[in-house]
Structure 1
Amino acid sequence: MAQGHLIPFMQLAQLIDRRKGYSVTIINTPSNIHTLRSSLPSTSSVHLVDLTFSGGPENTDSITHDEFYSFFQSIESSIRPSFRRFLSDAIAADPDNPPCIICDGSLGWTVEVAEELGVFHAFFLPSGAYGSAVFHSLWTQRPYEWKDSDEFALPNRPDIKLHRSQVSPMLLHANDEDPGFMYFRRQILMSSNSSGILINTAKEFERGGVEFLEAQTGTPIWPIGPILRMPKKSTPSDSGCVAWLNQHAEASVLYVSFGSENSISAPQMMELAMGLEASETIFVWVVRPPVGFDFEGEFRAEEWLPEGFEERMRERNRGMLIRGWAPQLEILSHTSTGGFLSHCGWNSVIESLSNGVPIIGWPLGAEQYYNSKMMVEEVGVCVEVARGSESVVERGHVERIVRSVMDDGGLGREMRRKAREMGKVLREAVGEGGASVRAMDEFLVKAFSNK
């Protein structure tokens, strides 16, 4: 029920649909199905079904973080009966070919429905293995018990140490009497009752993370990624962005974006702008209203950016500000793009590395902290500039980090070399005969072995 999850699910559905002998149906609420239908290629045979829904928000992009618990609780109570009816009807219509259910990791209750009806169930996590494993460990190990410490190690992995700034406020302040915490903890624990987990990564890229996740959940893991988004149809604004990128030298432009559902605070935005200008780095920045303001509202540059900032950047041809949606894949694949200042959502991470672009990390929530941690400590393709939307950000620090990553020599050159190596690993995994392709085949054989 989130944009960053719907898109990978659509790609997964089409991946399976391209194999002969399978019929694929995506089930969701009416509004989300409408969105998916508009982006489904006309050549696809994927079926889309909207379930009976009692009303209210249908996607996380229309709620605040404080509303997450009530949102998911409402989704379960409203959809669970119609989901069960849909599956029962499918089984009755073709009892010799029972379906395989693949559900989002946040909908743990679907395991109970699958067990009741006796059908194969798997979760699909659009995130990476390491980030998912750490996230799972935190929710099941109760990190709030260590909330008085600035740093602590995971009890089941003492070699993995975290700082309190890498743990969401909800977890740090939760307890066993918190209904929201207990609800999500139950959903996450359900992964151990599933028949398996599909993960949007490649084993050669995250071998340690895959093993950690398998040990953490006690469930078979099939790394089938990276499942990358397909570029949207170009629009005049897209071509304008690409034409602007064409004017600049190879690997000279920094792309700045915090994803489709995130933003930073107004003071952070001001310091980021000043740091970018001081660095003299050319950039493309996808701007949205800061935290605490209407995310879909007008971007008020005169309030949230330095005076005359956008005009100076335009006049000097050093910066382009894009309001709303941007053609991310086109930007990251362009030869002039040499770095990505990102919230480290997994879709953004794999899109960046698949194009050989190193990352400046600014994680804002969920498992983004651990994606960034892995990219910094294990892969060497990332440097963190900040964490969260509440941290103090100083323009001089932004300037130094941006300069170091965008430099043609030293750290920047080495990070780009490693990013290109990782991109090759990711592309080979999903190429003909690649490890992720074989994992997908193995999963489908397992899922339908009882026919």
Structure 2
Amino acid sequence: MEKGKTGIDGTVVLFPFMAHGHLNPFLELAQLLSTRIPSFTITIVSTPANILNVRPRFLSYPTVRFSELHFHISDDSLPADAQNTDTLTSQSAVTRFYHASESLQPSFHRLISQITESDGGRPPICIVSDMFLGWTVDVAHSFGSHHVPLYTSGPYAMSIYNSIWTHLPQRLTCADHLTFPDLPGVTIDRTQLSRSMKSATENDPSSDFTIRQSEYCRRSDGSLWNTVEVLERSSLDNWARSTGKPVWAIGPLLPNSSKEFERVGKLPGLSPLVCTEWLNQHPPNSVVYVSFGSQNTIPVALMIELAKGLEESGKAFIWVIRNPPGFEVGESFRAEWLPEGFEDRITERKQGLLVRNWAPQLEILSHESIGAFLSHCGWNSVLESLSRGVPIIGWPIESEQFYNSKLLEEELGVCVELARGIDDMINGGDVARMVRLVLEGEEMRRKSEVLREKMMTAVSVVEGVKGSSLQALDHFVETVRMWGQKYSKGGSLDVAGD
């Protein structure tokens, strides 16, 4: 490979988890690194189906390469050919898929060995893995490579999430409010636990898995975060102090649009043009966008109440609607899952637009008519909403989404919660009141707009001064160059734990 101006070349390996919400931030990072360090090869590791979908996105990035890793699942309760979480129909199946990913370690070790041999015996300078693939730190360090996890959630939520699974405080008390020995001053309500957390037992598989990945990541040589300093500065500082390693907040890692080659295999229920034309018929800040992300949905009873409330609110809405839990992703949507005549009424009045399975979310949130986002509070959706200045109506469903919602409501003031989980009881009147509250209110919209401007500043150069995320990315790139320079001079890589 031809060396760049610095005389340094090498390989950086990116290994995202095989889930849509985890994959996209890694793809954005790959593009940024390819542009910042063109003398380096950026190798994206994933399963064949994922690579087939993402390869078109990198046609103009010649230094980005792909390496396939075959996932042979031994869990009989999972589809033998599952290569990502898209086809899994329950949260328990997704959880088992995460646990099964640890079986990739021997294959990943062989892959890094092959990369090392193909580069004349030089191992990758750095392996950037998903936070739930923390076991890759041992592979990295065994070859003399550095290791850095990319957290696709923020440190505020991840600190609470890790602490819950580490200490299982819900098993130690019957109280409604839970505290944590390693997070002084942080309190959550028992209703902010996912189903799996509520049912956790001693030596719970999810607890063991999370503890292992957390401990692996703490042996890494630093951590990358898809977040922005202005959103959670104190949590970033606390993470840096507790690990004693560099922390780089380089977010938001978001695609520029939802173009065909950026959809990672997702087929839109309606084209971006149809959505835009429909939104053009509505005034600014008058439409609520409803979506529970790529992996979540709600039961039929809640779906019917949500539909009733959206209609009763009198406000316009776009709803990305998916089959309820327990039904196959590809199964036809049934009319009985919604109130009788609902779709005909909202279509005739031009009050609502239903989008099956997938929607061009960035284009929708960027439209001036959108005034609120009823969201599951997945971190990618949070960043997309805040980067467009759109306040959030929170309905967290699983995992760390409850703590993203907590951050948004209690710390940032840009969210109000409608419900928690899929066991919560809501009625149409609750939905209607909350939608009107946010669309007609001014304070949350003002705070959201302030955050939008600050997030833009983080990834911009203003009067010659780079924003916080650009500075963090620069520092990470220089650190990687320094690691590569040490190796190019004939020395061994000085990795953590040596």
TM above 0.5: yes
Query: 1:37-436 to 2 correspondence within 5 Å?
Result: 37-43=55-61, 45-54=63-72, 56=80, 57-63=82-88, 64-68=90-94, 70-77=96-103, 79-92=104-117, 93-95=119-121, 98-146=124-172, 148-233=174-259, 237-300=271-334, 302-407=335-440, 412-432=441-461, 433-436=466-469
1:430 corresponds to which letter in structure 2? V
Please tell me the residue identity of whatever aligns with 1:33: I
Q: Comparing 239-248 with 163-172, which one deviates more in the overlay?
A: 163-172
Offset of residue 147 of structure 1: 5.4
Cα distance per residue 1:195-235 (max 9 Å; x no partner) = 11100011122212212333454543110111112313378
- The separation in 1 between residues aligned to 2:239 and 2:120, in whole angstroms, is 35
Distance in 2 (alpha carbons) for counterparts of 1:371 and 1:70: 23
Q: What CA distance in whole angstroms lies between the structure 2 residues aligned with 1:197 and 1:177?
A: 27
Deviations along 1:6-57, one digit per CA (max 9) or x if unpaired, are: 1111111111111133221100111221222244344453111102433532
Structure 2 residues without counterparts, runs of 5 or longer: 1-17, 74-79, 261-267, 487-498
Distance 2:63 2:143 in 1: 26
Q: 2: CA distance between counterparts of 1:284 and 1:21?
A: 45
Moved >6 Å (runs of 4+)? none
Between the aligned partners of 1:104 and 1:130, the Cα distance in structure 2 is 17
Q: For 2:108 and 2:476, how far apart are their aligned partners in 1?
A: 23
CA RMSD of aligned residues (A): 1.9
Which 10-residue stretch deviates more, 98-107 or 28-37? Answer: 28-37
Verify the 8 A CA contact 1:253 1:336 in the aligned structure 2. yes
Query: Cα distance 1:378–1:87, how it changes in 2: closer, same or farther (>3 A)?
Result: same
Q: Percent identity?
A: 45
Q: CA deviation at 1:72?
A: 3.3
Determine which of 18, 33, 42 is the counterpart of 1:24: 42
Residues 363 and 441 from structure 1, CA distance in 2 versus in 1: closer, same or farther, beyond 3 angstroms?
Answer: same
Partner-residue secondary structure (3-state), 1:27: strand
Task: Give me the whole-angstrom Cα distance separating, in 1, the residues matched to 2:173 and 2:306.
Answer: 29
Q: Shift of residue 67 of structure 1?
A: 2.9
Shift of 1:366: 1.1
**Distance apart, 1:293 and its partner CA:** 2.0
Aligned equivalents of 1:179, 1:327: Cα separation in 2: 36
**What TM-score do you get using the length of structure 2 for normalisation?**
0.85
Q: Find the aligned partners of 2:46 and 2:306 in 1 and give their Cα distance.
A: 38
Report if the CA contact (8 A) 2:134-2:216 is conserved: yes
Unaligned 5+ segments in structure 1 are: none
Change in 2 beyond 3 A, CA 1:303/1:215: farther
8 Å contact kept, 1:105–1:124: yes
TM-superposed CA distance for 1:90, in Å, is 2.7
Is the CA contact (8 Å cut-off) linking 2:170 and 2:178 kept in structure 1?
no
Instruction: After TM superposition, give the deviation of residue 61 of structure 1 in Å.
Output: 2.4
How many equivalent pairs are there?
445
Kept in 2: contact 1:147–1:164 (CA 8 A)? no
Q: Judge conservation of contact 1:192–1:218 (CA < 8 Å) in 2.
A: no
More divergent stretch after superposition (140-149 vs 345-354): 140-149
